[in-house]
Structure 1
Amino acid sequence: MTSAALAGSTGLVGSEILKTLLAHPSITTVHAYTRRDLPNSTSSNKLHALQSTDTATWPSLYPTAPPAPLFLSALGTTRAAAGGPEAQRAIDHTLNVALARAAKDAGATTYVLISSGSASSKSAVPYSKMKGETEDAVRALGFAHTVILRPGLIVGARSESRPAEAVFRGIARALGKVSNVLKDSWAQDAEVIARAAVRAGLDCVEGKREEGVWVLEQGDIIRLGRTEWKVEKAK
């Protein structure tokens, strides 16, 4: 049994992580960062909102008495939603790293980051480079366990409009109805990514993984997330 903290709890993957944490029998408390009221369809008493419209205060809100040993981040935005590349970086990189550092300082032992399949600090593509730099920064913090998930195209219903992605998400959903094999290598469902993130984090907290960095590529996400899905459905 353990407690968890989550950043990015209202996004496509983050909202699925929140649902998974609240439903998981091994999680006793979920501390979720948010700028607005969080949905809690099951009225779970596990949910504790770390709420502030000023994200600069978020690092100071990390639970310390007692600390949450498991911290997950699905925090991210688009350039358009943020208002430009610098504003996007302030959230995707700067805030992510600040929250990870606060979690480490508070005593968190396992950090789980939802990154991107294209992430590389050596990339010439600005978005991929930023994601890679975030990965490098959180690795350097030295958590006992650092878990990095690198999904491909994320399939699910987004609240904001991304016309170009919407076309490919539609294709992925259509192919998935025929066979998951046709989409798994390039697109993963948000709920599968979420379940993989939670399962990986719990495996680390429960001592089922050696200490160090664990990178889950798309195939690993499918394997772990879909196995977890089947277990939950069986229950």
Structure 2
Amino acid sequence: MTSPPVAVVGCTGLVGSHILQQLISSPQTFTVNALMRRPYPHPIHDPDSKLKALISTDTSTWPDTLGTTSSAALFSALGSTRTDSGSLELQRKIDVDLNVAIARAAKESGVKTYVLISSNGASSASRFPYLQMKGELEDAVIALGFDKTVILRPGLIVGGREKTRMIERPLHLVANLFGAVSGGTLKDSWAQDADVIARAAIRAGTEDAAWDGKGTKMNGKMFWVMSQVDILALGKEPQNL
């Protein structure tokens, strides 16, 4: 049984790269439409790769590009930092404006399922700019009314970043230490591994069975805000792709 095409944006980041790798290594025949600013930097161990890289350094073209694809689901791990963007205003243009534009284009092109990597504590009413932006994005994509909207709210994301924020480095060391000495039990409540988050995202976005007893129905549409507990429960089991 083949699976329908999917799209990924933010796929060179920590969680997004795991989402992309897991999708293209699936035994099912996925076509993965990946919006990228640069070629994918990691090796793809698949001679008949399912990856369709849509590369443009002009991110303003991404919504129109996505609209030309035929994808059943969109996975967004797109995000930036104030340091990388240059200012809070420029970060908002990526984290909120570009994400919303891509989500809107996805809805108009017939995407049925939208999966967003957000953050624990996200709220449009937050006094913290980062969490406020994440909350505004969540509100906007839920309002678009995809058949299924999945929002993952992980805690500290653990993994091999190209750039680790200085403030996070001690937390990463503690999380890795706790994970090593306890088999994960001391870290799981506040830090999750990127590959686990990716696996949970894919399962929620592609497996109907993952939704058993989960999610909330609103105006005939389903949405599921996944807590860290949900992420671990779904992400630590292998997906049935």
* TM-score computed with the length of structure 1 as normaliser: 0.92
In 2: Cα distance, 1:205 partner to 1:94 partner: 32
How big is the alpha-carbon RMSD for the aligned residues of Structure 1 and Structure 2? 2.0
Deviations 1:33-76 (A, max 9, x none): 101111342144200011100000000111545x1011000000
In 2: Cα distance, 1:103 partner to 1:133 partner: 18
Q: Is the 8 A contact 1:109 1:205 kept in 2?
A: no
Which residue in the other structure is 1:150 paired with? 153
Displacement of 1:30 after TM fit? 0.4
1:187 and 2:194 equivalent?
Answer: no
Call closer, same or farther: CA 1:94–1:5 in 2, change over 3 Å. Answer: same
Q: Which moved more, 1:145-154 or 1:35-44?
A: 35-44
Find 2:235's aligned residue among 217, 225, 229.
225
Call closer, same or farther: CA 1:166–1:207 in 2, change over 3 Å. Answer: closer
Displacement of 1:205 after TM fit? 9.9
1:72 and 2:82 equivalent?
Answer: no
Amino acid at match of 1:18: L
In 1: Cα distance, 2:51 partner to 2:189 partner: 34
In 1: Cα distance, 2:211 partner to 2:157 partner: 29
Amino acid at match of 1:58: W
1:15-26 → structure 2 map (5 Å cutoff): 15-26=17-28
Q: Is the 8 A contact 1:9 1:75 kept in 2?
A: yes
Which residue in the other structure is 2:32 paired with? 30
Which residue in the other structure is 2:109 paired with? 106
Q: How many residues get paired?
A: 230
1:66-215 → structure 2 map (5 Å cutoff): 67-179=70-182, 180-204=184-208, 211-215=221-225
Q: Is the 8 A contact 1:31 1:63 kept in 2?
A: no
Call closer, same or farther: CA 1:204–1:137 in 2, change over 3 Å. Answer: farther
Identity %: 52
Q: Is the 8 A contact 1:70 1:205 kept in 2?
A: no
Secondary structure at the counterpart of residue 202 of structure 2: helix
Gaps of 5+ in 1: none
Gaps of 5+ in 2: 216-220
Deviations 1:123-159 (A, max 9, x none): 1111111100000000000000000000000001111
Amino acid at match of 1:219: V
Call closer, same or farther: CA 1:127–1:109 in 2, change over 3 Å. Answer: same
Call closer, same or farther: CA 1:214–1:192 in 2, change over 3 Å. Answer: same
Q: Which moved more, 1:70-79 or 1:18-27?
A: 18-27
Deviations 1:154-209 (A, max 9, x none): 00111114111011011000100112110000000000000000010002499867
Which residue in the other structure is 1:11 paired with? 13
1:38-53 → structure 2 map (5 Å cutoff): 38=40, 39-43=42-46, 44-53=48-57
In 2: Cα distance, 1:146 partner to 1:24 partner: 22
Displacement of 1:13 after TM fit? 0.4
Amino acid at match of 2:98: L
